Structures are given as structure tokens and as C-alpha cells.
Amino acid sequence: MGEMVDLNFYKNKKVFVTGHTGFKGSWLCHILKLAGAEVMGYSLAPQTKPDLFSLSGLDQDPHIQTIIGDVRNLEALKKAVVAFQPEIVIHMAAQPIVRDSYEDPVYTYETNVMGTVNILEAVRDCPSVRSFLNVTTDKVYENKEWHWGYRENEPLDGYDPYSNSKSCSELVTHSYKKSFFNGADDFSKIENRGTSISTARAGNVIGGGDFANDRIIPDCVRSVLKGETIIVRNPNSTRPYQHVLEPLFAYLLIAQKQVKKSELADYYNVGPDEADCITTRELVDLFCREWQQQAGKSQSWENQNIDGPHEANFLKLDCSKIKSRLGWQPRWNVEQAVEKTVEWTNAYKDQKNMAAIMKKQIIDFIKTEQEEQYV
């Protein structure tokens, strides 16, 4: 199954997470809580209604310290990081929606580019940080819509303001790493030469609790909960889909490995295997089949080609580097990812304890000798 992150590594470790109130951030908080980490999150208030952060009780959780703040605010961010003295920083705060980036490009660039500058400035001022990971996206590449997966050495030049701002975020990280953390010149802060810095470029994630606009699985969830037909915008777009736990465990693996071996700090693609690059049509068909099986209700969808701004039609990643250097392998295929998403949604519909469902799914995902420790 490939190398799994050692969750014991995170026990009692101080981990600072930006964007922790979002979909991926909430799942990451639950993993870190399970691992026994000390977590401080810095983020805007949840941006969706409903939101996974509150639904799963993280807003009331004594294990998660929350600071509601904006990554565009350098002083507030710096103050939070320095006060906490983390060993590991995972930067996920972003304006993440392509269509929203056309509506508000200035905010998108401020958040995604200057937010990256600001968190790196905070890390420069905090000698306790040994490991920094910037989470970007598979959309950082200049997309030629070809059939090969992009490798980490391909040109970074996203098309739309979201994708392009994430390309810029990568370049900011590269410059800071070379200029301030390598000990390569007089400007490096001597006490911070022990900080390992990586970026992770992950693709489209699915999973329970994503309520964002303009994403296909959340659209499916909203429709089934209301008993409406699912509307599909681009049924023939091909994307690499993976369960949200896949990249999160990869992030934790990178952050862990680079502490012990700084030469492993690098820029990594994180995506599913070739077979899980499927069209939106196939994904929605999978969701409808799974919903029929688990909820006992048939579900239909229809194609509505709504004229919208440019979005990539074909995009996938070559993940050879993280597989060979860190021993990482994806664990759940797209069918399992959809099955777990529907399981979560069904539990939500029935008003079950969502924190318990998430813990169960995380333990299902781990499926190793570590499992018994967390039950």
C-alpha cells in the first residue's frame, strides 16, 4: 500500500494550520486531533452554509485553538505564529474557486499570493518552525490539455486568476526558500536555516462535508438532499478525482519526512492513479449509483451547458516523484472515494454525529497496525 504517515510523529507536536475552517482544513484538524497533536488554526470564519467545521464540532473543540483572521493581515498572522511557536506549519488558506476568481481577481491574488508571502514572513520570524508546507493545486501548470500527466518541472502558468495566483504562490515559496531558508547568503536568518520547505500540488478532492459552490460533488449533494435533478455543467471534462484524505495524509507525510531529512523538501504532485482520471459524467453516474445503493433512492442528472468563463477540460498529474522519493501511494480509488462521500452524506441527512463518522472514515483509511491505538 505504500508508505503511511506515522501519526505518532505528530503526538504533542505543535502544528499551525492556515485555512483550518475550510473543507480540507476541517478534515486535517480531525486527523491531527486523532494523532494527539496540539493544533492552532488561523482562518476566516467558515465560508459556506452549512459548514463542516461547525457540523463536526471543531468550533467547540478544546483540542483545536482557533484564531479567526485573514492571511492578508501580516501583523495579525505573524503575532499568532510567533505566540504559538509551532514546529510544523501547513498553509492551506486560499480563495479556492475558479469562477469566483473571475468575479474578484484582486481579492484572489491578495489572498493567494500575499497570503503566502505573509505566512513565510511569519515563519522567518519564528525559529521553532522546522517544517513548512504550502498547499497549492494541480492547476499551477501551463495547461496544454494534453494526455500526459504534468511533472513538477513543467512551466507554472495557470490560465485563470485562481490558477495563476497559485502558480505565483509556488514561485513566492521557491524564492523564499532559496533566499531566506537555505543559509545560502547573508540575508538568511541564521536561526531559521533548519526549516524545511515544500509545496504540494494536489488535484480535485471529494469527500463528505464539502458545501462549496461550483464544485460537482457538492452540487450532487445539494440536489439529492433537496430531491432535485443534478445539473452538470461540463460532463466531458476529465479530472483526477481523489478522496480528501489522500492529499491530507500526503501533506502530513511530506511535513514529517522533511523534518528528519531536509533533502526531501521539494515540490510534489499529489494525485490519484491513472484509472481515477474520469469525466464529470462518469463521476456523477457513480454518485447516483452509490446514492441508490445506500439511500435507496434513484437520482438523475441533466447536462446544462451554462456559458461560463474558461475552465480547463483536461488535466492530470504525474506523481512519480512523491511515489519514488517518499514511498507514497494512493489508497482509495475513485469508486471508494464516492462511496465514502455518500456514506458521509447519508449520515448527515440522518443527523448522525459527524465527528464520529469522520473519525471512523479516517480509521478506515489508515487500515494499518496503528489502527488499534485510535479506536
Of 340, 223, 251, residue with least CA distance to 10 = 251
Average pLDDT over residues 49-57: 97
Residue 288 has pLDDT above 80, yes or no: yes
User: Which of 373 and 131 is assigned the larger pLDDT?
Assistant: 131
Average pLDDT over residues 55-66: 97
User: 260: Cβ–Cβ under 8 A, 6 or more apart, which residues?
Assistant: none
E strands, 141-216, are 196-202, 204-206
State the average pLDDT for the chain. 92
* Contact (Cβ atoms closer than 8 angstroms) between residue 15 and residue 37: yes
Half-sphere exposure at residue 251, Cβ-oriented, CA atoms within 13 angstroms: 30
What is the per-residue pLDDT for 227? 93
* Contact (Cβ atoms closer than 8 angstroms) between residue 270 and residue 202: yes
* Contact (Cβ atoms closer than 8 angstroms) between residue 22 and residue 56: no
What three-state secondary structure class fits 141?
strand
Structure confidence by residue, pLDDT tens digits, 12-42: 999 999 999 999 999 999 999 999 999 999 9
pLDDT > 70 in the chain, percent: 93
What is the per-residue pLDDT for 60? 96
What is the per-residue pLDDT for 371? 46
Of 70, 75, 65, 59, residue with least CA distance to 16 = 65
User: Which of 134 and 370 is assigned the larger pLDDT?
Assistant: 134
Average pLDDT over residues 234-263: 94
Of 254, 121, 255, residue with least CA distance to 192 = 121
Residue 369 has pLDDT above 50, yes or no: no
Average pLDDT over residues 300-324: 84
The H-or-E segment that residue 13 falls in is none
The backbone torsions φ and ψ at residue 311, rounded to the nearest 5 degrees and listed phi first, read: -135, 145
Average pLDDT over residues 90-105: 96
Average pLDDT over residues 249-259: 98
pTM of the entire structure? Answer: 0.94
User: Please, which residues bridge with residue 317 across strands?
Assistant: 150
Of 56, 51, 63, 58, residue with least CA distance to 23 = 51
Residue 69 has pLDDT above 70, yes or no: yes
Residue 305 has pLDDT above 90, yes or no: no
Which sign, positive or negative, has the C-alpha torsion 121, 126, 132, 137? Answer: negative
Residue 186 has pLDDT above 60, yes or no: no
CA dihedral angle for residue 318, residue 322, residue 325, residue 330, rounded to 10 degrees: -110
* Contact (Cβ atoms closer than 8 angstroms) between residue 286 and residue 338: yes
Gap between the Cα atoms of 287 and 281, Å rounded: 10
User: 356: Cβ–Cβ under 8 A, 6 or more apart, which residues?
Assistant: none
Average pLDDT over residues 222-235: 93
Q: For the chain, list the domains and their CATH numbers.
A: 7-206+240-275+310-334+353-374 (3.40.50.720)
User: Which of 217 and 277 is assigned the larger pLDDT?
Assistant: 217
